[in-house]
């Protein structure tokens, strides 16, 4: 089952749009520009990121902090961990 859930998460990441990112930023109290959202979407679509691996998530956080400011990237990372926990998916992320 966890392989199936991981695939769903990866598919969602690869299909995310700038509009999705802007919508999520509003829902979760972030401020980003359309250009930043487009750069984030492009980054996620072009980089083969394994969000389940801690080192790769840290690299992604570093890379995203160059697109958006570091403080916003840290807030996004905190939100990511809260969402993982709230959905009971901690076991999928090492």
Task: Supply the pLDDT for residue 77.
Answer: 82
Task: Supply the pLDDT for residue 35.
Answer: 94
> What is the domain partition of the chain in residue ranges?
2-92
Return d(Cα 90, Cα 54) in angstroms, integer: 12
- 23-51 pLDDT, tens digit each: 988 888 888 899 999 999 999 899 988 88
pLDDT category at 1 given cuts 50, 70, 90 is low
Core vs surface per residue 54-72: b (16+ CB within 10 A) or e: eeebeebeeebbebbeeeb
Question: In terms of C-beta distances under 8 Å and separation of at least 24 residues, what long-range contacts does 34-37 make, across chains too?
Answer: 36/67, 36/68
**What percentage of the chain exceeds 90 in pLDDT?**
28
Q: What global pTM score does this model have?
A: 0.80
């Amino acid at each position: 089952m966890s392989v199936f859930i991981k695939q769903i998460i990866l598919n969602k990441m690869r299909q995310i749009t700038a509009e999705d990112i802007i919508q999520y930023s509003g829902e979760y109290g972030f401020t980003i520009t359309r250009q930043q959202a487009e750069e984030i979407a492009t980054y996620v679509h072009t980089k083969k990121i394994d969000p389940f691996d801690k080192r790769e998530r840290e690299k992604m956080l570093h890379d995203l902090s160059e697109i958006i400011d570091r403080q916003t990237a840290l807030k996004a990372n905190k939100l990511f961990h809260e969402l993982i926990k709230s959905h009971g998916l901690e076991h999928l992320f090492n």
